[in-house]
Amino acid sequence: MSTARLTINLQSLAHNWRALDAKTNVETGAVVKADAYGLGAEPVSWTLADEGVRKFFVAVAEEGAAVRKAVGPGPDIFVFSGHMDGDAEVLSGQNLIPLINSPQQFQRHRGALPDHPFGIQLDSGMNRLGLEPADWAELRDAALALNPAVLMSHLACGDEPEHPMNRQQLRTFREMTDGIAVPRSLAATGGSLMGPEFHFDFCRPGIGLYGGMPFTEAKPVVTVDLPVVQVRPVAVGETVGYGNSWTARRPSRIATVAAGYADGLHRAIGGGIDAFAGDLPCPVVGRISMDLITVDVTDLPEDPNRLRILNGHQTVDDLAEAAGTIGYEILTSMGRRYSRGYVE
C-alpha cells in the first residue's frame, strides 16, 4: 500500500444515528452535506436510509443529486442554500426541497417552480442564513399559504449547552413560529442533546453521526492508516524535518510515513499527537509536511509497516485540538489521495 488508507465503519455510523435518535421522542434526520463530511455521500446516505432516515440535508442542490441516487425516490432531501439562481432544473428533476433564505429566493422559487415543495429557514440570531424577523413578518402570510414543508433555524452555540445564546435563539424561534401548523426544526447534534424543548418536530444531527463532539458517546467512524516509507536511525543532537524543529535527545528510530497536510493532516498539528502501532502510541515529531510525517518509533520492538493516526484512542477532535481547529475541518479535509474502504 503506497497511499494512506481511510476506512469508514458504516456499522458505527448507523450505531451513532440510533443512539442520537434514542435521545429524543421525535423524528431524527441526518446532515450529509460536503460529501457526508468527506466520508462519501452515497454509502453514508444509503446506510442511514436503511436505518430509517427519511430526512436528509445537503448544502447545495448538486450535493442533493448524489444523495437522491443513493436513497431513491422516497426520502426528503433539503437544501440549506435554498433556491439559488440556476437551481430550478436540479431541484425539480431530483425532487429536492430548497430551504428559502431570503425574499429574493422566495420570489425566485415561486416564479420558477410554483408547485414545488420548499421550506423556510429563519434567522434566530446566528446572522448567517435565513429570513430576518422583519422579512419573515412581511412574507409570512404568502409563504404559509403555499404550505411550506418545514420552518427551521440553526443554533450558533449548540456545542456549548450552557451558552445563553441557545436560550435566546430558542425564544426567538418560538416567537417567530409558535401557533403555526408547520413542522419545525431547530436542533442539530448539539441541540439533540439539550433536551426536548429544543427538539420540536425533528432533529437533524451531523457531526455526531461521524464520531465528533459534542456527542461524547459516539463510536469512532473513521480510521486512518499511514504506510511507512522508511525508518532511519537518528543520533543524539540530530534534527528532523523542516526548520530543525525537533532534536533527538537519545539515539532514536524515526519512521517517515506517506501522508501530510495535502491529505488533511494539517501542518499546524505538529507535536502533541501520536501515531499508533496497535495500541502503542508513538509521538509525531518535527513538522508535518505536504506528503510526509515523521514519527518516533524508538520504543517499538521492531520497525512497523504502517501506523494509525486516527482511531479509537485518538479522534478527529484530538487532531483538531492539536491543530487549533474543529473536527469538522479535519474530516472534510481528508483528501482524495487516500485509498478508501468501508466496513458494513
Question: Which pLDDT value is given to residue 93?
Answer: 98
Q: Which residues contact 16 (CB under 8 A, 6 or more apart)?
A: 208, 209, 210, 211, 215, 218, 219, 221
Q: Which CATH class is domain 222-343?
A: mainly beta
CATH 3.20.20.10 intervals, the chain: 10-210
Closest CA to 31 of 93, 98, 79: 79
Q: For the chain, what is the mean pLDDT?
A: 96
Q: Do β-strands 239-240 and 274-277 pair in parallel, antiparallel, or remain unpaired?
A: unpaired
73-91 confidence digits (pLDDT tens) = 999 999 999 999 999 999 9
Residue 231 CA to residue 343 CA, distance in Å, equals 30
Q: Which of 33, 210, 261, 338 is catalytic?
A: 33
Nine cell digits for residue 55: 430526512
Question: Could you tell me the pTM of the whole model?
Answer: 0.94
Q: Each residue of 218-251: pLDDT tens digit?
A: 999 999 999 999 999 999 999 999 999 999 999 9
Cα angle 304-39-88, degrees, rounded to a multiple of 5:
160
> C-alpha cell of 26?
421525535
Q: What is the pLDDT of residues 133-148, one digit of tens each?
A: 999 999 999 999 999 9
> Among 23, 37, 242, 328, which one carries the catalytic annotation?
242
Task: Order the strands of the 55-58 sheet from edge to edge.
Answer: 30-31, 55-58, 76-79, 97-100, 119-121, 151-152, 184-185
pLDDT at 271 over 90: no
Nearest 5°: the CA angle 303, 309, 311 is: 115
Identify whether the C-beta of residue 307 lies closer than 8 Å to the C-beta of residue 318.
Answer: no
| Grid cell digits, residue 337 | 489521495
pLDDT tens for residues 151-194?
A: 999 999 999 999 999 999 999 999 999 999 999 999 999 999 99
Percent of the chain scored above 70 by pLDDT?
100
**CATH 2.40.37.10 domain extents, the chain:** 222-343
| Residue 193 amino acid letter | L
Question: Domain 10-210 - what CATH class?
Answer: alpha beta
219 has catalytic annotation: no
Task: Quote the pLDDT of residue 1.
Answer: 54
Judge contact between 174 and 5, C-beta under 8 A: no
259 pLDDT exceeds 90? yes
Rounded to whole angstroms, what are the CA distances from 33 to 173, 204, 292, 331, 333? 24, 12, 29, 12, 13
The percentage of residues in the chain with a pLDDT greater than 90, rounded to a whole number, is 96
Task: Please state the rounded mean pLDDT for residues 101-117.
Answer: 98
